C-alpha cells in the first residue's frame, strides 16, 4: 500500500477511522470524508499526529454533486485512486408501521446511494490502476432485522449492487470486497435515527463484548489483501447467515427474541 491513495467515506469515527489508521500504517495516503467538519478535522489531526499522510474532505455521501466534487479533488491532489472504501452509513430504529418514510429514504440515500455515487465517480480512476473497492455492509444485508427495516433494505441493496459490479469487473483487474461486520463497538447505534428521524444519541446494546472497530479494520484489510470476495465477521454473524439460509423460520423467532431484549425495544 506504499503511497497508494485510499478514500474512506464516513471516516470521522468508528470502523472508517480504524480503517484509516490500518491503511495509513501500511504507508497509504489516506483521504477521509464526513459531513461534520469539526469531527472530520479532529480525525484528520489524529491521523497526522500518528505520522499518517491524511487529508479530510467534507462531503455528504448522500449528495451526488458533493461526492463527484470530492473525487475530482482527490484526483487533483494525488492524481490517482487505488482503493475506495464505501463506509459511510447510518442506522435507524423504529417499527415500520410507525416510522416516517423520510427516515427510510435518508438511510437509503446515505448507505446505498452514497455507495453508488462514490463508486461511479471513482471507478474510471480505479480501473486505470487496477485497484479495488470495499463496501462496508452488514449482517443485516443477509438477514433482515426487525425495527431496522430501512437499514436492512439499504444493506441488501448494497450487497446486490456490489455483487453485480464485482461480476461486471471480473476481467478488469479491479477487486471488489463486500465486508459484513457483526455487531461492532462503534457509534452507529448512538447515531441511529428514531421514527421521526431524530438521532437517538444512545446505544440500545451493551457494546462491552462486541468486536472492536480496530479488529474489524484489521480483518477487512487482511481479507482485501487475500482477494476475498466476501467477509462475514464474528461467529454470531456466520451462524446467522447459515441459519437464515437453511432454517429461516427458526431464525425469525431467534432474531425476534434477541432484539426484543434490547433497551427500550418496541418488540413485545
Q: What is the domain range of residue 139?
A: 5-235
Q: Return the pLDDT at 130.
A: 97
Give a yes or no: residue 139 inside a domain. yes
Between 47-61, 101-115, 165-179, 226-240, the lowest mean confidence (pLDDT) is in: 226-240
pTM: 0.88
Q: Is residue 256 part of a domain?
A: no
246 lies in some domain: no
Residue 37 forms part of a structural domain: yes
Query: Which of 20-34, 98-112, 192-206 comes out lowest in average pLDDT?
Result: 192-206
What's the angle, vertex CA 52, arms to CA 124 and CA 137, rounded to 5?
50
Q: Is residue 14 part of a domain?
A: yes
Q: How many domains does the chain have?
A: 1
* pLDDT grade for 254, boundaries at 50, 70 and 90: confident
Model pLDDT for residues 84-137, shown as the tens digit of each residue: 999 999 988 888 999 999 999 999 999 999 999 999 999 999 999 999 999 999
Give the Cα separation of 179 and 93 in Å (integer).
22
Average pLDDT, the chain: 90
With cut-offs at 50, 70 and 90, classify the pLDDT of residue 265: confident
Instruction: Cite the active site residues.
Output: 151
Contact 55, 82 (CB under 8 A): no
Does any domain span residue 244?
Answer: no
6, containing H or E segment:
strand 5-8
Predicted pLDDT at 184: 62
Q: What values do phi and psi take at 166, rounded to 5?
A: -55, -40
What pLDDT is attached to residue 209? Answer: 65
Does residue 186 sit within a domain? Answer: yes
Q: Is the pLDDT of residue 138 over 70?
A: yes
In the predicted model, what is the mean pLDDT of residues 192-214?
A: 68
Confidence of residue 204 (pLDDT cuts 50, 70, 90): low
Q: Above 60 in pLDDT, residue 47? A: yes
CATH code of residue 72: 3.40.50.720
Q: Does 262 map to a domain? A: no
Contact 177, 229 (CB under 8 A): yes
Amino acid at each position: 500500500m506504499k503511497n497508494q491513495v485510499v478514500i474512506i467515506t464516513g471516516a470521522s469515527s468508528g470502523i472508517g477511522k480504524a480503517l484509516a489508521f490500518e491503511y495509513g500504517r501500511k504507508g497509504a495516503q489516506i483521504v477521509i470524508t464526513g459531513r461534520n467538519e469539526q469531527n472530520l478535522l479532529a480525525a484528520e489531526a489524529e491521523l497526522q499526529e500518528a505520522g499518517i499522510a491524511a487529508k479530510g474532505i467534507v462531503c455528504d455521501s448522500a449528495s451526488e454533486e458533493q461526492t463527484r466534487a470530492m473525487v475530482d479533488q482527490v484526483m487533483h491532489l494525488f492524481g490517482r485512486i487505488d482503493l475506495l472504501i464505501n463506509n459511510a452509513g447510518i442506522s435507524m430504529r423504529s417499527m415500520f408501521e410507525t416510522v416516517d418514510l423520510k427516515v427510510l429514504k435518508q438511510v437509503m440515500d446515505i448507505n446505498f446511494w452514497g455507495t453508488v455515487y462514490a463508486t461511479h465517480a471513482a471507478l474510471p480512476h480505479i480501473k486505470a490502476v487496477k485497484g479495488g473497492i470495499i463496501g462496508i455492509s452488514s449482517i443485516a444485508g443477509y438477514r433482515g432485522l426487525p425495527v431496522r427495516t430501512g437499514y436492512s433494505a439499504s444493506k441488501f441493496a448494497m450487497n446486490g449492487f456490489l455483487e453485480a459490479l464485482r461480476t461486471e469487473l471480473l476481467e478488469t483487474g479491479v477487486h471488489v470486497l463486500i465486508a459484513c461486520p457483526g455487531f461492532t463497538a462503534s457509534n452507529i447505534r448512538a447515531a441511529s435515527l428514531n421514527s421521526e428521524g431524530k438521532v437517538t444519541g444512545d446505544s440500545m446494546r451493551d457494546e462491552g463484548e462486541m468486536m472492536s472497530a480496530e479488529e474489524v479494520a484489521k480483518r477487512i484489510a487482511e481479507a482485501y489483501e487475500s482477494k476475498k470476495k466476501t467477509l462475514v465477521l464474528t461467529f454470531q454473524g456466520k451462524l446467522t447467515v447459515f441459519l437464515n439460509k437453511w432454517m429461516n423460520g427458526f431464525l425469525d423467532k431467534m432474531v425476534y427474541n434477541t432484539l426484543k431484549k434490547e433497551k427500550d425495544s418496541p418488540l413485545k
